[in-house]
Amino acid sequence: MDDFETIREQFPILHQRIHGHPLVYLDSAATSQKPDAVIESERRFYETINAGVHRGAHELAARSTVAFEDARAKVARLVGADAEPDHEEIVVTSGATAALNLLATAFGNASQGRGGDAARRFALGPGDGIVVSEAEHHSVLLPFQELAARTGADLTWFGLHEDGRIRTEDADEVITPRTKVVAITHVSNVTGAITDIAPVVRRAHEVGALVVLDACQSVPHLPVDLHALGVDFAAWSAHKMYGPTGAGFLYGRRELLEALPPANFGGSMVELAWMDRPAQYMAPPARFEAGTQPVAQVIASGAAADWMRGIGMDRIARHERANAAVLLGLNDIDGVRVLGPTDTTDRIGTVSFDVDGVHPHDVGQFLDARGIAVRVGHHCAQPVHRHFGLFASNRASCGVYTTTDEARALLEAVAKVRDFFKA
Ligand code: PMP
């Protein structure tokens, strides 16, 4: 048994049959499955220390607070962020979408003068620029489109190469002295291509713009060091990195988080509140964490982060690249087209494809009947589908538990799709 078979054994959900066939789960880009370590962490929390954090004098509250902050530090270590008390750079949210909306709303608040002088660096107005790319997930595109509408700023974008890679080599033209924010994906959830963000970060910082990285599809699959990448903010979800649903993270460089005005308001984020005066908000990260937090989910995300580091992100990346190499064989099947780069350079094991003449939903059902789970639809990224002349596609995406036999099983099944529907 090689190491990755032992790792696979740790995922209880994978040991089942679907429609009489062994489950082949190739939908990890939508959500990953969870190892015993994560399931046990959440279970142990509810069995032993369940309590709200940062309030209450009782022992359970103290223990859950320690475990929650410990988990924040574990997540920070996974992505190379600061975890020291009073220097935390990780804000807990309910997911990547919530993190990106929090940020765009906070920028909008700063644009209306909230947060005072310190927050002026986040303010946008008519004539200022926001840059995204045509490969963005709607969770990036829409919050920043709304921010543009709210502030009068212009939204422009990086175009794509034929194979769907973002043309970041155009950074000097796309990012101008009027650009204030660049929000860009680290890895496309459709093509699986890793973005070369170095020219983006260099040019953005040259003109004083901030870089927001959508790290949803990189953190689970690659070694990610946010300090080394030099981005200003980043967002990702726990549920794609082997953690639970209902938790996500916003990274911000500490000095930026200190200057950023809040976006959500309520309990646990305020030092002082009065009836007749504005409230005095807490320091980050608490300032951005209004309300009761997803404590169990965050603690289990910490377990997931440690579990991944225990395996080694380099090893995970290598394992997934080997599966990507098999999946890319889809492109050699008659009538099948891979949407995205067709070689293993700078990509993860997420491969979207189109089967000529067969609707993605039919392909998905054909595969499901054989126990194979893939994603169908536009994967919340309509512009990149338009780039490929499509509205929807099929997407196979690997996790750490995916085997080459599973990738081959997909290829064998896809090879039969057209004949099946012709008949
Ligand atoms: N960005 C990318 C690239 C994604 O793949 C996803 C999830 N499909 C998101 C953002 C949004 O994540 P969530 O739905 O977990 O908030």
Tell me the average pLDDT of the chain. Answer: 97
What is the Cα–Cα distance from 265 to 93, expressed in whole angstroms?
13
Q: Where are the beta strands (DSSP E) in 278-389?
A: 280-281, 336-339, 350-355, 372-373, 375-377
Give yes or no for residue 142 CB within 6 A of ligand 1.
no
Give yes or no for residue 378 CB within 6 A of ligand 1.
no
| Confidence class for position 332, pLDDT limits 50, 70, 90 | very high
pLDDT of residue 280: 97
pTM to 2 decimals? 0.98
- Of 329, 418, 320, 409, give the one whose Cα is nearest residue 371: 409
Pair 293, 68: CB distance under 8 Å: yes
Residue 115 has pLDDT above 90, yes or no: yes
Give yes or no for residue 94 CB within 6 A of ligand 1.
no
Quick one: which atom of ligand 1 is closest to the CA of 245? 15
Q: Phi/psi class of residue 390: alpha, beta or left (left: φ > 0; alpha: ψ in -120 to 50)?
A: beta
pLDDT of residue 75: 98
| 281, β-bridge pairs | 270
Q: Indicate the length of the chain as a whole number.
A: 423
> What's the Cα-to-Cα distance from 60 to each of 31, 51, 71, 246, 396, rounded to whole Å?
31, 6, 16, 22, 43
| 372, β-bridge pairs | 24
**Among 23-27, 53-57, 60-64, 184-188, the least confident range:** 53-57
pLDDT of residue 255: 97
DSSP string of 38-59, one letter each residue = HHHHHHHIIIII---SS--SSH
Pair 312, 306: CB distance under 8 Å: no
pLDDT of residue 353: 98
What is the Cα–Cα distance from 395 to 338, expressed in whole angstroms?
9
Pair 135, 384: CB distance under 8 Å: yes
> Residue 319 has which token pair?
């394992």
pLDDT of residue 226: 98
| Confidence class for position 31, pLDDT limits 50, 70, 90 | very high
Numbers of helices and strands, H then E, in the chain? 14, 17
Give yes or no for residue 380 CB within 6 A of ligand 1.
yes
pLDDT of residue 315: 97
Measure 272 CA to ligand 1 centroid, in angstroms.
35
In order of their start, the domains of the chain are 4-30+312-418 (3.90.1150.10), 43-309 (3.40.640.10)
Mutate to test the pocket of ligand 1, among 380, 384, 385, 397 (most ligand atoms within 8 A of CB): 380
Measure 106 CA to ligand 1 centroid, in angstroms.
20
Residue 396 host element (H or E): strand 393-397
> Helices in 79-166 by DSSP H: which ranges?
96-111, 138-151
Give yes or no for residue 216 CB within 6 A of ligand 1.
yes
Residue 1 has pLDDT above 70, yes or no: no
Residue 18 host element (H or E): strand 17-18
What are the residue numbers of the active site? 380
Give yes or no for residue 168 CB within 6 A of ligand 1.
no
Quick one: which atom of ligand 1 is closest to the CA of 236? 12
pLDDT, tens digit (0-9, with 9 covering 90-100), for 229-258 = 999 999 999 999 999 999 999 999 999 999
pLDDT of residue 198: 98
Pair 242, 32: CB distance under 8 Å: yes
- CB-based contacts of 208: which residues, under 8 Å, 6+ apart? 180
Rounded to the nearest angstrom, the gap between the alpha carbon of residue 86 and the centroid of all alpha carbons in its chain is 25
DSSP 25: E
Mutate to test the pocket of ligand 1, among 32, 166, 189 (most ligand atoms within 8 A of CB): 189
As a whole-number percent, the residues of the chain with pLDDT over 70 amount to 100
| Confidence class for position 55, pLDDT limits 50, 70, 90 | confident
Give yes or no for residue 238 CB within 6 A of ligand 1.
no
| Confidence class for position 405, pLDDT limits 50, 70, 90 | very high
pLDDT, tens digit (0-9, with 9 covering 90-100), for 280-312 = 999 999 999 999 999 999 999 999 999 999 999
pLDDT of residue 423: 77
56-78 mean pLDDT = 96
Q: Hey, whose CA ends up nearest to atom 8 of ligand 1?
A: 30
Measure 143 CA to ligand 1 centroid, in angstroms.
13
Give yes or no for residue 256 CB within 6 A of ligand 1.
no
| Confidence class for position 56, pLDDT limits 50, 70, 90 | confident
ipTM over 0.95: yes
In three-state secondary structure terms, 189 is: coil
Identify the residue whose tokens are 């220097």: 87
Mutate to test the pocket of ligand 1, among 101, 103, 137, 249 (most ligand atoms within 8 A of CB): 137
